[in-house]
């Protein structure tokens, strides 16, 4: 608690913020059609944003229609009843706004930033593409080509993406996390118009969304516009629940990817971890930082400083279901890839056998808390964080307990989660290289 107060004090003194965001600053209501809307008033600047979190990602797909969630991220900008193709962006930009979008395994998120006085334009644009998106065959074929090209070039240009696709496929044999968000190429080429229409109707229904609006807006005004523009869109039956539970992994899995153009071996080691809503999330998040955060992190010192690797990285995704914690290293071309793998795993195992010092743990806690409060300083970070906690952790109010949850993690907790999750039986090892090792 003392550390939390210290960091709040530091941030307030260095940024001049009048006050920190509290749980009472989040006001919310739910429309009759099931759409939940949260509002945070902030008149620091005359701007606002709207984040639309749709509860649909590659996790909701099945073989045959993989990649559809990401495809709709493209299609939602290609015309609707009142705004022709390209007019979504042009209309928003004419009003001084900008937008972006991203798709994950669990969510598709659309982000709009705009001058506060343009809020009605944004409501009109979003309502139109939710209620009456144009799914024109010519536009679908054109965008299908764009996505197919994106998949090919993405895999060709990114060793990480090429290797992670194979690692995911090997690690999961039942759960839809087994395929990449962009989908399988044959599925991209085979989606039908009926597939698209049904997918949009099912998942882009108001009862499947959470909307967060922050900035120089008034709660009453947001509510009036939400009822006027979003409230008239009919709800749809609740989408089918993802029932598949990945069976317990019984031993280490390995995959090899040959890429003749690669100059250095790429290594990925991925461990099965629980969903983000699990109580162990905070200890795992700090454990990830111990291994990966900055030049003084354990893997950077053991692999890069010792010239076994050119670079090291990793990723702990937030997810609805149990997922993977990825560790990634690019071997020194003059080094021994097998020694790189041995040393990386040795460093991971050290977390299970030796207690991390309180000083080392405090260092990553301090960085984590600084990042957390920095995010909460801006209306952009605030909307994204509130929506993220609402969906991944089940309740936005939990974000206001996050600093205490991080502070409560002890060296023994780090060791316990390492012993529980970072085991040989739970890991999948991927190697990408120009040539595979020879048989014995």
> Is pLDDT above 50 for 6?
no
Asked whether the predicted pLDDT for residue 15 surpasses 80, the reply is no
Enumerate domains of the chain plus CATH numbers: 23-231 (3.30.830.10), 253-433 (3.30.830.10)
Cα separation, 167 vs 159, in Å, equals 12
* Euclidean distance between CA atoms 165 and 285, whole angstroms: 23
pLDDT band, very low/low/confident/very high, at 81 (cuts 50, 70, 90)? very high
Query: What distance in Å separates the CA atoms of residue 109 and residue 100, rounded to the nearest whole number?
Result: 9
Q: What is the pLDDT of residues 314-332, one digit of tens each?
A: 999 999 999 999 999 999 9
- What are the φ/ψ torsions at residue 250 (nearest 5 degrees)? -105, -5
Say what the pLDDT of residue 191 is: 93
Reply yes or no on whether the pLDDT at 16 is more than 50.
no
Provide the mean pLDDT of the chain.
Answer: 93
Compute φ and ψ for 318, nearest 5 degrees: -85, 135
pLDDT at 10 exceeding the cut of 80:
no
Span 134-144, average pLDDT: 93
Spatial neighbors of 111 by CB under 8 A, at least 6 apart, are 49, 50, 51, 52, 99, 100, 101, 380, 383, 384
Distances (CA, A) of 351 to 163, 286, 302, 323, 363: 25, 12, 14, 20, 16
* Secondary structure E strands in 116-152: none
54 burial class (0-12, 13-18, 19+ CB within 10 angstroms)?
Answer: buried
Closest CA to 327 of 415, 242, 428: 428
Q: What is the mean pLDDT of residues 203-228?
A: 98
Q: Tell me how far apart the terminal alpha carbons of the chain are, to the nearest angstrom.
A: 57
Return all residues near 29 (Cβ < 8 A) that are at least 6 apart: 36, 37, 223, 226
- Give the CA radius of gyration of the chain: 23
Q: Which pairing describes strands 47-54 and 27-30: parallel, antiparallel, or unpaired? A: unpaired
Angstrom distance (rounded) from CA 364 to CA 417: 16
pLDDT range class, residue 436, cuts 50, 70, 90 = confident
Q: What is the largest CA-CA distance in the chain?
A: 72
Cα separation, 27 vs 201, whole angstroms: 28
Per-residue model confidence (pLDDT) at position 440: 67
Instruction: Specify the 3-state DSSP secondary structure of 329.
Output: strand
Selected residue with higher pLDDT from 202 and 5: 202
């Amino acid at each position: 608690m003392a550390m939390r107060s210290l960091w709040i004090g530091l941030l307030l003194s260095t940024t001049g913020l009048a006050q920190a965001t509290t749980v009472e600053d989040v006001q919310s209501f739910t429309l009759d059609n099931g759409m939940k809307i949260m509002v945070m008033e902030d008149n620091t600047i005359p701007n606002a944003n709207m984040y639309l979190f749709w509860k649909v990602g590659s996790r909701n797909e099945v073989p045959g229609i993989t990649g559809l969630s990401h495809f709709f991220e493209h299609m939602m900008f290609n015309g609707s009843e009142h705004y022709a193709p390209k007019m979504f962006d042009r209309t928003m930009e004419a009003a001084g706004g900008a937008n972006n979008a991203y798709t994950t395994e669990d969510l598709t998120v659309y982000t709009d930033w705009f001058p506060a006085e343009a809020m009605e334009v944004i409501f009109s644009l979003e309502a139109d593409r939710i209620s009456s998106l144009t799914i024109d065959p010519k536009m679908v074929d054109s965008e299908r080509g764009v996505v197919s090209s994106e998949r090919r070039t993405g895999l060709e240009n990114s060793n990480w993406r090429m290797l992670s696709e194979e690692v995911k496929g090997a690690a999961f044999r039942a759960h839809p996390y087994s395929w990449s968000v962009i989908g399988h190429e044959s599925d991209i080429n085979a989606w039908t118009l009926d597939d698209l229409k049904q997918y949009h109707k099912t998942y882009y229904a108001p009862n499947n969304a959470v909307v967060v609006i922050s900035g120089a807006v008034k709660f009453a005004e947001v509510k009036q516009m939400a009822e006027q523009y979003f409230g008239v869109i009919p709800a749809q039956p609740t989408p089918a629940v993802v029932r598949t539970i990945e069976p317990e992994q019984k031993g280490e899995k390995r995959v090899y990817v040959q890429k003749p153009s690669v100059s250095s071996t790429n290594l990925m080691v991925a461990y099965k971890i629980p969903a983000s809503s699990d109580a162990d999330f905070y200890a795992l998040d700090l454990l990830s930082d111990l291994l990966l955060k900055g030049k003084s992190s354990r893997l950077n010192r053991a692999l890069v400083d010792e010239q076994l690797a050119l670079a090291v990285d990793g990723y702990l995704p937030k997810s609805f279901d149990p997922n993977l914690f990825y560790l990634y290293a690019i071997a020194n071309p003059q080094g021994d890839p097998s020694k790189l793998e041995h040393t990386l795993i040795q460093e991971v195992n050290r977390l299970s056998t030796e207690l991390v010092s309180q000083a080392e743990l405090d260092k990553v806690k301090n960085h984590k808390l600084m990042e957390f409060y920095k995010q909460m300083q801006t209306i952009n970070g605030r909307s994204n964080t509130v929506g993220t906690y609402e969906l991944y952790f089940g309740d936005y109010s939990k974000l206001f307990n996050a600093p205490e949850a991080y502070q409560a993690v002890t060296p023994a907790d780090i060791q316990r989660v390492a012993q529980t999750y970072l085991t040989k039986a739970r890991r999948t090892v991927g190697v990408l290289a120009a040539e595979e090792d020879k048989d014995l």
